[in-house]
Homo-oligomer: A and B are copies of this chain.
Amino acid sequence: MKNSNSNPEKIYAAEKSRYDEFLKMNLSLDISRGKPSSEQLALSDGLLTALKSSNDCIGISDYRNYGFLDGIPEAKKLFSEFMGIDVDEIMILGNSSLNIMYDTLQKAMQFGIMGNEPLNKQGEIKWLCPVPGYDRHFSVTEEFGIKMINVPMTENGPDMDIVENYVNNDPSVKGIWCVPKYSNPQGIVYDDETVSRFAKLKPAAPDFRIYWDNAYMVHAFKQDLPILNLLKEAEKYGNADIVYMFGSTSKITYAGGGIAFMAASVNNLNDFRKHLSVQTIGYDKINQLMHVKFFNNVENIYKHMRKHADLLCPKFQVVMDTLQEELSDVASWYNPVGGYFVSCDLPEGTAKRTLELAKNAGVIFTPAGSTFPYKYDPADSNVRIAPSFPPVDELKLAMQVFCCCAKIAYYEKNI
């Protein structure tokens, strides 16, 4: 710890009295979820006035009426360019990419993928989960009773030796969750070799799919770091069918009020569409059209994201600075260059206790363990910090509480 020349008992006592001061402040701060701030949301208020009259709602058809099961052509064009894929490789669906992922897996469970037996009927199946990862991904696979296997993250993406070993040899492995760019929670960007190795997988299971959740694909803080396009790479190796890509504008426009899309091979989309046409007549095309009129082209999406970055950067800086100042001796973390989170590894066995102390002082974090399948972090070490929502001064205070609690939790075990 800092002040390592000092007496540990003295530091511990100092942090405890600092904690008592925090308690007296009756704080109520929440940095648990990756929610955009009001200032960020206001960047997209142009959506509200993008369509004003009947005429505005008419594209190649009247989009106030039924039709266009998998999206309006204008939205398919814009977001296929955005995703770097062909226009027949995208479907624009509802408002939530999580919901698309859920539905995709549910259909695989119930009906099977492209003529394969339903996963429901295949006995025990397994799923690879790079850790730390996104809690809502893990909840989906847990809901379906799928056995989740931890795969450690490296600074370039999931450990591909482990991934290849599982996928290429075990036919009960049916999928893997990936957030390839500014990953949740570490902010890691998969390097070219990692993407390329994904594209070249030779799955033992014919119904194995990579669930490529590109939630943060344009969410750089400074300069964009392009990554290889997995679908295009996989096509090179005749492997296009092993890829499902997902994205949404939830962290581009309105959170939960945006539009969400799925990109995949024509084979995969045809297979999905067959069931989708039974499930619904179509999604909200007015919202799709609002987004198209608001952005008009991909370049404008990138320009828009610069404004988000300007609002987010100072907040991430506060987190980095406070961690560096207070916990550099004992904790480790990635300095993210994009995305929505900071992942901090505390000394083993202290994450739960740290967040319990923080909660008692009125500061809420994503519960310890959430970044692992079954909410179980074997090292009880990882904490996800979500700096986007609170104002800078509140965030600074929350981080000070966090660091104070982390130190107390450490000294409780080490004195």
A48 within 8 A of B: yes
Q: How far is the CA of A257 from the CA of B62 in the complex (A)?
A: 11
A52 and B41 within 8 A (CB): no
Check A64 for interface membership: any CB of B closer than 8 A.
yes
Chain B residues with Cβ below 8 Å from A48 are: 51-53, 56-57, 286
Give 13 CB contacts A-B under 8 Å. Answer: A41-B65, A48-B51, A48-B56, A65-B254, A94-B94, A94-B284, A96-B282, A96-B283, A102-B279, A103-B279, A106-B106, A284-B287, A287-B287
- Does chain B have a CB within 8 A of A63? yes
Say how far A129's CB is from chain B's closest CB, in angstroms: 15
Residue of A64, A96, A278 with most chain B CB atoms under a 10 A cut-off: A64
Closest 3 CB pairs of A and B: A41-B64, A257-B286, A99-B280
Least Cβ distance of A278 to chain B in Å? 5
Interface size classification for chain A: 35 or more
- Contact check, B285 vs A256: say whether CB atoms are below 8 A apart: yes
0/1 string, A51-77, CB within 8 A of B gives 1: 111101100001111110000000000
- Whether A280 and B41, one on each chain, are in contact in the complex, defined by CB atoms closer than 8 angstroms, is no
Known: A41-B65, A52-B49, A120-B120. A95 touches B256 (CB 8 A): no
> Is the beta-carbon distance between A278 and B143 smaller than 8 angstroms?
yes
Q: Mark A133-160, 1 if CB is under 8 A from B, else 0.
A: 0001001100110000000000000000
Q: Is A227 an interface residue (CB 8 A)?
A: no
B280 touches A257 (CB 8 A): no
A57 contact set on B, CB distance < 8 A: 41, 45, 48
Of B51, B64, B140, B255, which is within 8 A of A66 by CB? B255
**Interchain nearest-CB distance for A304 vs B (Å):** 15
| Smallest Cβ-Cβ distance to A106: which chain B residue | B106
Given the complex of chains A and B, what is the CA–CA distance between A377 and B318 in angstroms? 69
Whether A18 sits at the interface, judged by CB under 8 Å, is no
Chain B residue nearest to A68 (CB atoms) is: B256
Please determine whether A65 and B255 come into contact, CB atoms closer than 8 angstroms.
yes
Query: B98, B140, B278, B283: which contacts A140 (Cβ < 8 A)?
Result: B278
A64 with B96: CB separation less than 8 A: no
The distance from the CB of A137 to the nearest CB of chain B, in whole angstroms, is 10
CA distance A104 to B161 in the complex (A): 41
Kindly specify which of A31-39, A81-89, A196-204 makes contact with the partner chain.
A31-39
Beta-carbon contact of A102 and B278 below 8 Å:
yes
Given B65, B257, B285, B287, which contacts A64 in the complex, CB threshold below 8 Å?
B257
Given the known interface contacts A95-B94, A110-B110, the answer about A102 and B63 at a Cβ–Cβ threshold of 8 Å is no
**Closest CB of chain B to A354's CB: distance in Å?**
25
Distance, CA A260 to CA B103, complexed state (A): 18
Instruction: Assess whether A375 is interfacial by the CB under 8 Å rule.
Output: no
Taking the nearest CB of chain B, how far is it from the CB of A23, in angstroms? 28
A14 at the interface (CB under 8 A from B): no
Knowing A41-B62, A65-B41, the reply to whether A280 touches B98 (Cβ < 8 A) is: yes
Q: Which of B53, B102, B282 contacts A256 (CB 8 A)?
A: B282
With both chains docked as a complex, state the minimum distance between the C-beta of A207 and any C-beta of chain B, in angstroms: 17
B62 A256 Cβ-Cβ under 8 A? no
Q: Within 8 Å CB of A45, what residues of B?
A: 53-54, 57
